[in-house]
Amino acid sequence: MTATATAERHCVGSVEEFEENRFRVFEIAGRPIGVVRRGEEFFAVRNRCPHQGAEICGGRVSGTMLASSPGEYRYSDAEPVLACPWHRWEFRLADGGSVGDVTGKRLVTYEVEVEDREVYVKLRAGRAR
Amino acid sequence: MSGVFDAELHPLITSRAGLLEYVSDPSWRQRLSDGEFALPQASPHPGAELEGGAVDPSAADPAAVAAALGSDVEAALLVPAQAMATAGWLSHTMAAVFCSAVNDLLIAEWLPAEPRFRLAIAVAPHDGFAAAEEIERVGRQPAVAAVCMPLIAVNMGQRHYHPIYAAAERLGLPVVVHPGGFEGAVIGPAALGGIGPRTPEESFTLLPQVATANVASLIYDGAFQQFPGLRVVFAGFGFSWAPPVLWRADSEWRGLRVEVPWLTKPPSEYVGDHIRFLVDAACELRPEAWRVAAMLPETSLIYGSDLPFGDGDAERALAGAPAGLRERIAAGNARETFAAAVGAAEAGR
């Protein structure tokens, strides 16, 4: 049995209903899940910061600063991040990993599919809440 | 106690005429002879001029100091405390001239007196380029193991110090910073929080502020990225304040990493790799302090006797240290910290 075969798919609206860089939060199978649009890309994450449980989808969605020489900034949009509104810890939208490895904790992420201009969040079967 | 590396022994200079012989520029020698130039007081601490007993004059005699070294002492780093007073001097050139003379005197008169003596050459921090020239001038001598300087009101992470760090790194010399006695004066030396006249006791109590500000500056300004070989020793500032500062630094870094993206690991790890704190007679040596010591990276602490302002009894000073740290504090960390000196390597030590 593959994950894909057992994943539940939940429609959260049409592409046009999503504003750039602004999360919409849904309750899907009892879980608070935020979905955000970056151009034609969509990301979905659990609306809970792994640090102290803040509703992280209220945070800033943007690129971030790459490791650089002292006094220089190198901003990159290549891997968009979500910064928690409480303590500004940043997590990559793509895989939930901590930017800069400031923590070993990860933000829970979900796969998103767009089909016929409709946006679907896929939940992995059997995954703990 | 077996194997003590004393990383803070203050040689005393009491003869003005004797020092002036080492002022190489005849015009400066003339100026210092003609004027009211006086040697700085022995103790580089606020209010020392009002404190009790005078320093034992034998502290100015290299043979006597050598003879008094315990048999357990494998090396003693000479840190010329009187040169730390230059932080408050009006003439930056005079400060540099004075430091050069002190270095030459110690090299000529102290180092030959005892093979266990090592020297932290003094530089004046006001002019980074002049200080770097001084490091190049005398820093390759075989017994030179460090650079020492007082702090001025420019934090240590600033580019102002880069010439000093580049020279020190090139010659494998850690930079020892030590109070000069003027901290908290309104203009010139390193700042203390708040403005106003203070009692010596208040200034002394607040000295860790200077170290805190400079540890933070070294980390956040990226000095250790620019000078990966740089090591800094905070002597005379204590250490008990450090763990909470590092906890806070690590905590802030997690949220504010984007402001300092050049930091690629927690600030406390940079401290463990690059910064040492001296455990000396001025430290908060009480039983609780040793519990704090165990909260620092194990590389952090090195012992210094602070002679002639302490009794030089390392065994007693470190009696309460955690068993697993004691050897590191007594000698291991200092051996590692001061081992990279180019002069020492060239001399085959």
| CATH code where residue B44 lies | 3.20.20.140
Residues from chain B that touch A88, judged by Cβ atoms under 8 A, are 255-256, 258
At residue B190, the pLDDT reads 74
Q: Are B347 and B141 in contact (CB under 8 A)?
A: no
Regarding beta strands A31-38 and A24-28, do their DSSP bridges make them parallel or antiparallel, or are they unpaired? Answer: antiparallel
At residue B47, the pLDDT reads 67
At residue B89, the pLDDT reads 87
Q: Is B226 on the interface with A (CB under 8 A)?
A: yes
Question: If DSSP states are collapsed to H, E and C, what string results for chain A?
Answer: CCHHHHCEEEEEEEHHHCCECCCEEEEECCEEEEEEEECCEEEEEECCCCCCCCCHHHCEEEEEECCCCCCCCCEEEEEEEEECCCCCCEEECCCCCEHHHCCCCCCCEEEEEEECCEEEEEECCCCCC
At residue A128, the pLDDT reads 45
pLDDT at B279 over 90: yes
- Does the distance separating the beta carbons of A89 and B254 come in below 8 Å? yes
Residue B100's nearest CA partner among B205, B25, B12 is B25
What is chain A's length? 129
- Does the distance separating the beta carbons of A65 and B258 come in below 8 Å? yes
Residue A114 CB burial class (10 angstroms; 0-12, 13-18, ≥19): middle
Query: Which of A52, A65, A81, A82 is the best substitution to test chain B (most B C-beta atoms within 10 A)?
Result: A65
For the domain spanning A4-122, the CATH number is 2.102.10.10
Split at pLDDT 50, 70, 90, the class of B250 is very high
Q: How far is A89 from chain B (nearest CA, A)?
A: 5
ipTM value, please give it. Answer: 0.73
Q: Are B77 and B338 in contact (CB under 8 A)?
A: yes
At residue A92, the pLDDT reads 98
- Does the distance separating the beta carbons of B261 and A66 come in below 8 Å? yes
At residue B51, the pLDDT reads 64
Of B63-77, B177-191, B299-313, the least confident: B177-191
Pick from B38-42, B300-304, B310-314 the range whose average pLDDT is largest. Answer: B300-304
- Does the distance separating the beta carbons of A66 and B257 come in below 8 Å? no
pLDDT at B22 over 70: yes
Q: What is the pLDDT of residues B43-67, one digit of tens each?
A: 777 666 666 567 788 899 999 999 9
Could you report how far apart the first and last alpha carbons of chain A are, in Å? 21
Q: What is the pLDDT of residues B160-190, one digit of tens each?
A: 999 999 999 999 999 999 888 777 654 556 7
pTM for the whole structure: 0.76
Quote the percentage of chain B above a pLDDT of 70: 92
- Does the distance separating the beta carbons of B254 and A69 come in below 8 Å? no
Q: Is B230 on the interface with A (CB under 8 A)?
A: no
What is the C-alpha separation between B121 and B99, in angstroms, rounded?
8
Split at pLDDT 50, 70, 90, the class of B130 is very high
- Does the distance separating the beta carbons of A68 and B258 come in below 8 Å? no
- Does the distance separating the beta carbons of B257 and A90 come in below 8 Å? yes
At residue A4, the pLDDT reads 42
Q: What is the pLDDT of residues B198-226, one digit of tens each?
A: 777 888 888 899 999 999 999 999 999 99
Q: Which of A70, A72, A100 sits opposite B257 (nearest CB)?
A: A100
Q: Is B142 on the interface with A (CB under 8 A)?
A: no
Domain that holds residue B23: 4-346
At residue B195, the pLDDT reads 66
pLDDT at B312 over 90: no
Q: How far is A93 from chain B (nearest CA, A)?
A: 16
Tell me which residues of chain B, numbers 266 to 305, contact chain A at a CB-CB cutoff of 8 Å. 266
- Does the distance separating the beta carbons of B261 and A69 come in below 8 Å? no
Residues from chain A that touch B258, judged by Cβ atoms under 8 A, are 64-65, 88, 90
Residue B36 CB burial class (10 angstroms; 0-12, 13-18, ≥19): exposed
H or E segment to which residue B342 belongs: helix B342-346
The average pLDDT across B291-320 equals 91
Q: Is B264 on the interface with A (CB under 8 A)?
A: yes
Quote the percentage of chain B above a pLDDT of 90: 66
* pLDDT < 70 regions, chain A: 1-7, 125-129
- Does the distance separating the beta carbons of A88 and B262 come in below 8 Å? no
| Domain extents in chain A | 4-122
At residue A3, the pLDDT reads 38
At residue B111, the pLDDT reads 97
pLDDT at B348 over 60: no
- Does the distance separating the beta carbons of A89 and B261 come in below 8 Å? no
- Count structural domains, chain B: 1
Please list the residues that pair with A113 across neighbouring strands: A120
Query: Which of A66, A69, A102 is the best substitution to test chain B (most B C-beta atoms within 10 A)?
Result: A102
CB pairs A-B closer than 8 Å: 46
DSSP B307: B
At residue A1, the pLDDT reads 33
